[in-house]
Amino acid sequence: MSRLENAYGENQSSCEWTRIDMLLVLFDGTLEHVEQAIVTADGNQEQSLHHRIRATSLVSVLRSGLDLQFGELPDRLNRLYEFVQEGLIRGDLNMMRSGHKVLTEVREGFRGIRSKAIEMEQAGEIEPLAIEATLDVEC
């Protein structure tokens, strides 16, 4: 069973990445680093900083995928991501906790539409990824 099957509970006929799966994996990594930044904040400042930097970079990737010309939703996501980054940059524990909560809510929203997004991508309504998966994923 692949990591995608383990993580999202659905079989994929091959090891083809969909846009939604890439997005969910990106959220998972971001959330893990934010969580570790929070957990290590009171003890190991070097580790906390490492996780804050990694999480900030991953949030930048999330932001770079937004097309702000499509209206209110990408604009709101951009502002939420900006808030998360601000908390990480400042090292503000309360903001990081709030940011983790925000990212979790957004991620769950995307997870909730995963099946429909895959269906739309397979039907050609959403452009498929133009890259081959080179990530370390068991197929």
Cβ contact 38:104 at 8 Å = no
Q: Mean pLDDT across the stretch 30-34?
A: 97
Q: Give pLDDT tens digits for 87-132.
A: 999 999 999 999 999 999 999 999 999 999 999 999 999 888 776 5
To 10 degrees, the CA torsion angle through 35, 114, 83, 46?
Answer: 30
Contact predicate 30/99, CB 8 Å: no
Q: How far apart are CA 86 and CA 79, in angstroms?
A: 10
pLDDT, residue 79, reads 97
The pTM (predicted TM-score) of the whole model is: 0.82
Report the topology of domain 19-122: Four Helix Bundle (Hemerythrin (Met), subunit A) (1.20.120)
Nearest alpha carbon to residue 29 among 55, 3, 60? 55
What share of the chain has pLDDT > 70, as a percent?
83
Of 13-27, 39-53, 87-101, the one with minimum mean pLDDT is 13-27
The contacts found for 100-105 with CB under 8 angstroms, 24 or more apart, are: 100/31, 100/34, 100/35, 100/38, 103/27, 103/30, 103/31, 103/34, 104/31
Residue spans per domain, the chain? 19-122
Residue 55's pLDDT is: 98
